[in-house]
Structures are given as C-alpha cells and as structure tokens.
Amino acid sequence: MDADGTADVLVRLRDVLRDSAVEEHDWDAVEAETPIESLGFDSLTILDVLYDVEEEFGIALDPKQVVKTRTVGEIITLLQQNGA
C-alpha cells in the first residue's frame, strides 16, 4: 500500500461507484485523473453516490466542497482531508 493510503481509498471508492451506479462503466479503469463528469452521473445518481461514499468511509462531506471537485483524485483528497 502507498504511504498516504491513496491507492486504498481509490479501491474503496471504485467499489462504491460500482455498487451505486446505475449505468455500466469500466470502474476498474477509474484512476485519480478520471474526470467525474465522465462517470455518467446526473443530478439524481450523484446524490446516491455521495450518500454511499459517506457511509463507506464513515464521514460527512461538505457539499460545497464536493461540488468543486472535478476529478476522482480531488474526491480522494477531500475524503482524506476528512479522515478517510
């Protein structure tokens, strides 16, 4: 595992995305650089994912911070800043 745990968080995040998403996607190909908008979420499914991410990591994210994120890596950073 990497020193800061980023890879571990990414694996857990992929699992949540896989379980929460409605549309098919190659979730194993999702990397830190992957743009969130390419994941196919809309205003309804993104809320499902956020709920599930918070439950998986046992943290509460600030929605104002979440809407600023543009890549999976930025989500990971946000999760880590909140204790993931």
Q: Which residues bind other proteins (CB under 8 A)?
A: 41-48, 50-52, 54-55, 60, 63-64, 66-67
Residues contacting residue 66 through CB under 8 Å, at least 6 positions apart? 50, 75, 78
Nearer residue to other proteins within complex by CB, 1 or 44: 44
Q: Decide whether 10 or 36 has the Cβ nearer to other proteins.
A: 36
Minimum distance from residue 55 beta carbon to other proteins (Å):
5
Give the 3-state secondary structure of residue 19: helix
Spatial neighbors of 59 by CB under 8 A, at least 6 apart, are 79, 82, 83, 84
Looking at the Cβ atoms of 6 and 77, the one nearer to other proteins is 77
